[in-house]
Amino acid sequence: MRLRLPAERPTGPPTGYKIAHPVLSHDGSRARFTGVSLGGALPYGVVADAECVYGRRHRPPARLCDCGFHCVHERAAAEALLCTAEHRTAVLLEVSVLGAYIRFERGFRSARQRVRTATVGPCACGAPASALADAGWGRPGWRALGAACAGCVRGRTSLTLAGFAGLAGDGLRVVAGGPAPAFGPGAGTAGTRVPGGPEGPGGPEGLGVPELVAEAALLQARLDWFQTQLARLGERGPGGSGGSGQG
């Protein structure tokens, strides 16, 4: 006799948390996410159906396979994954678990999901992120992006947080987390309120003052970089030589 788990009939989609890398297509026309485990080679959109990474013809999530979208129940459990070196540039996703799913002790494995919110961590320098910039690696056809502040973007390919959300579509919200916490005697560990969050000024309908200020800072940083390059070209002169030595 085979024992079967009771079927769930939730009144609404369960909520889960996971981490992923934001990616941008090589032509800059599409924004997606890519997983950090087996499904990392298959970028997915805000609303997506799972595929079997082994190429089998069954419908995910199959009970005897690992296919399907994975997520955990607790936000803190997903945040803990961001501590590992290979996941430092990933972002935290809050997702709605859709379609058929299998519930485990720590999370779900589902046939479909919707990414509701992506929380971007601080820039490598510790400042809050205002953009997602080229992280220096990628997949075939996709460029991985990582958190960057206005001062660290420089000339890299980048998108503002609102720009990535708009390109991804389907109502995705992309928000910046607080700055990197300080540790040690007398150091505070309180985080910064997430701009545009549920209690923030932006809300889901539009951009608030923090997002607009961040975008303005990013544009100013790009302008400063271009002015620096133009100044260097001017010092070299029309011939491209920086000196006036004789041949």
Stated pTM of the model:
0.72
User: Given this model, what pLDDT does residue 37 score?
Assistant: 85
Q: Convert the chain into a string of H (helix), E (strand) and C (coil).
A: CCCCCCCCCCCCCCEEEEEEEEEEECCCCCEEEECCCHHHHCCECCEEECCCCCCCCCCCCCCCCCCCEEEECCHHHHHHHCCCHHHCCCEEEEEEEEEEEEECCCEEEEEEEEEEEEEECCCCCCCCCCEEEEEEEEECCEEEEEEECHHHHCCCCEEEHHHHHHHHCCCCEEEECCCCCCCCCCCCCCCCCCCCCCCCCCCCCCCCHHHHHHHHHHHHHHHHHHHHHHHHHHHHCCCCCCCCCCC
Give the per-residue pLDDT at 233: 76
Q: Which stretches in the chain have pLDDT values below 50?
A: 186, 188-205, 241-247
Please report the pLDDT score of residue 200 as a whole number.
Answer: 40
CA nearest neighbour of 29 among 156, 110, 114, 143 = 143
